[in-house]
Amino acid sequence: MSDAQNQIKETVTTNDVVLFMKGTKMMPQCGFSSRVAGVLNFMGLEYTDVNVLADEAIRQGIKEYSDWPTIPQLYVKGEFVGGCDIITEMMLSGELDTLFEENGVTFNKDAADQIRAANA
């Protein structure tokens, strides 16, 4: 396994929630990353952000690690959850709340409900 693969594995297994994204959670550098980070930020979720633009080996390595071609990518408790479209669908259906609850990840349920209400 390459150094990038080892670094990715360590990151996703030692942090409860990880978002591999373009930019940072405070300054996303693409619309898709901005959407996912915006949802997680609004929900008050504590998560680790990894800026793939800062390291080409990580940018390519995460695509190989997950066998998923696009960024952003969300991991919860070491498991790949999905990219922007999947996270958006899970948010609106309530599946994301369930995933966080089942994994003991703290988030603001009222904020999650507000997102759903605003998109109804």
| Binding-site residues from annotation | 30
Q: What is the enclosing helix (H) or strand (E) of 68?
A: none
Instruction: In whole angstroms, give the CA distance from residue 21 to residue 47.
Output: 12
Rg (CA), the chain: 14
Which of 21, 8, 98 has the alpha carbon at shortest distance from 52?
21
- Show the tokens assigned to 75: 């991991």
Instruction: In whole angstroms, give the CA distance from residue 29 to residue 3.
Output: 25
Q: What is the enclosing helix (H) or strand (E) of 73?
A: strand 73-76
Residues that constitute the known binding site for [2Fe-2S] cluster: 30
